[in-house]
Amino acid sequence: MTDRYDVIIVGSGAGGGTLAHTLAPSGRKILLLERGNFLPREMANWDPGAVFVDGKYISPDTWYDPDGKPFQPQVHYFVGGATKMYGAALYRLRPADFGDIAYSDGLSPAWPVSYADLEPFYTKAEWLYQVHGNHGEDPTEGPASKQYPWPPVSHEPRVQHIADNLAGAGYYPFHSPCGIMLDEDHRPASTCIRCAWCDGYPCLVHAKADAETVAVRPLLNLPNVTLLVDAEVTGLRTDPSGRTVTEVAVSRAGQAETYRADIVVLAAGAANTAKILLRSASEQHPRGLANGSDQVGRNYMFHNSKAVAALAKEPNDTVYQKTLGVNDFYLADPRTGRTPLGNIQMLGKSNAMAMKGEEPALTKLAPRMALEEVAAHSVDFWLTTEDLPQPENRITVDSAGRTHLSYSFTNAKETEGLYEELKTLLNKIGMAAHHVWAKNFYMNMAVPIAGVAHQAGTCRFGSDPSSSVADVNCKAHELDNLYLADASIFPSIGAVNPALTVMANAIRVGDHLAQRLA
């Protein structure tokens, strides 16, 4: 099948879905190609056994580690991409993240745009994704041109108690920004029932502001937007000059098809966007499309994250626990010369079944009741430290088209430093630090490189074509009509969750494309 569009967008997740939503009002003919299908709405969505033990919503795929050993990456190929499973903690990068930052293992490089450049698009993304929060509470955040569309999600009593104790101990706790469709005044618009199944689960009632519910679904009846599911893009072909993408090769439900558009945008996620480019090598682009700089696939990042459960004497009956964040250690401390350590936020509440999935070896013999007792008292935190872009941390594709991932951690000192700060903080508020343990959560620490939830980098944007893949508008330097609009463009990842930055940048790219097409 051959058909022609104004714009083809590959991938319907945070980047691709948001871009399609931004471009749709232009009336341009848009084709959204998604390798997955709609995630089924079923009771298993909220079943920790199905989600964490059986991995029901992890899409089959096989990647290979540097020793050539196959592994199942934690990928989610659905309409909406990884946002179908995300925790919807929708943070902006801090202004400092857009500049160079020195760490013990090296430099986190600057972005080619500043916080001020991205700020209007952060605001648009926060309004599109219905973010609840309170700009101004967190002293590390940059200026916001507009308040969040919704007030912060209120803390439940146990979390409020922790927040009060933290403030009393001299810390600056703030309400975490959450993208959920909750109206605490219970007006009819509210679909969220404030459950515990948000972080790492699909939302059965479609009340999580993910890319499917918020960005893609509203487009489905528009005459100018076509979504094709089960449509995996396998390669891009160019004209003889090598400057223009002329064809998008697709395997749709096993059938080879070809589509054409004036503009092609890749938003298949950091690993798969790189894979598509590398698989599109040709005579004009022997190292892979847009890869004259040899940067495609390199500088893969995914955060140094740690899920931590703190066991307290008091029971914790919190249902929606993700309302609190602490950024006291996010920025460098010029008084002590300390490098930035990262972000602390609360995680979705532990439960006995999820613990079995997270720690199968440790919990194998534990009776269910004992695990339930532990879960009933645990308070769960998520620590994130920035990892650094390294040329050898990379996605490559072999001659058989298989994906290989090499990755070594950086910033171990900062990661450990943040964990120590958490323990000190817990001690100060009366939660004994020796009852703290790091656990596996959705990053799948058991096979560290398989935890690809926060994958970013691989095709960074920049002004220098010899060290970046795309220019400041996210157009591939070497092509006239190829753009990138997902987490692949990150030159550095910061230490907050990446999705809002992907969405904001996709809106920025969308505005640019609307102008170009006009």
Ligand X SMILES: Cc1cc2nc3c(=O)[nH]c(=O)nc-3n(C[C@H](O)[C@H](O)[C@H](O)COP(=O)(O)OP(=O)(O)OC[C@H]3O[C@@H](n4cnc5c(N)ncnc54)[C@H](O)[C@@H]3O)c2cc1C
From its phi and psi, is residue 17 left (phi > 0), alpha (psi between -120 and 50) or beta?
alpha
**Burial state string for 315-327 with b = 16 or more CB within 10 A and e = fewer than 16:** ebebebbbbbbbb
Measured from the CB atom, the residue of 209 and 422 that comes closer to ligand X is: 209
In whole angstroms, how close is the CB of 105 to ligand X at the nearest point?
23
* CB neighbourhood size of 26 (10 A): 17
Q: State which H helix or E strand residue 354 sits in.
A: helix 352-358
Scan for tokens 């341009």, then name that residue: 28
* Nearest residue (CB) to ligand X, 59 versus 427: 59
Q: What are phi and psi of 251, to 5 degrees?
A: -105, 105
510 binds ligand X (CB under 6 A): no
By CB under 6 A, tell whether 11 contacts ligand X: yes
> Which one among 24, 30, 31, 83 touches ligand X, defined by CB under 6 A?
83
Q: Among 73-81, 97-105, 157-165, 457-465, which window interacts with ligand X (CB under 6 A)? A: 73-81
Please, which residues have CB within 8 angstroms of residue 508's CB and are 6 or more apart in sequence? 118, 121
- Count of residues that bind ligand X according to CB under 6 A: 42
Q: Which two tokens stand for residue 165?
A: 């104790």
In the complex with ligand X, the residue whose CB is nearer, 59 or 165, is 59
Q: On the CB side of 327, how many CA atoms lie within 13 Å of its CA? A: 22
By CB under 6 A, is residue 462 in contact with ligand X?
A: no
Which of 93, 128, 181, 276 contacts ligand X by CB under 6 A? 276
Q: What is the DSSP letter of 106?
A: E
Interacting residue with ligand X among 48, 173, 200, 462 (CB under 6 A): 200
Interatomic CA distance for residues 105 and 201, integer angstroms:
34
Of 214-273, binders to ligand X (CB under 6 A) are 232-233, 267-270, 272
Question: Is 218 in a helix, a strand, or coil?
Answer: helix
Residue 475 in the binding site for ligand X (CB under 6 A):
no
- Binding to ligand X, residues 374-433 (CB under 6 A): none
Q: State which residue, 259 or 329, has the beta carbon closest to ligand X.
A: 259
* Contact pick of 52, 63, 77, 300 for ligand X (by CB under 6 A): 77
| Residues making up the chain, counted from first to last | 518
Nearer to ligand X (CB atom), residue 83 or residue 363:
83
Give the CA angle between residues 358, 360, 366 to the nearest 5°.
110
Binding site for ligand X (CB under 6 A): 10-16, 33-36, 76-78, 81-83, 85-90, 200, 232-233, 267-270, 272, 276, 442, 453-454, 486-487, 497-500, 502
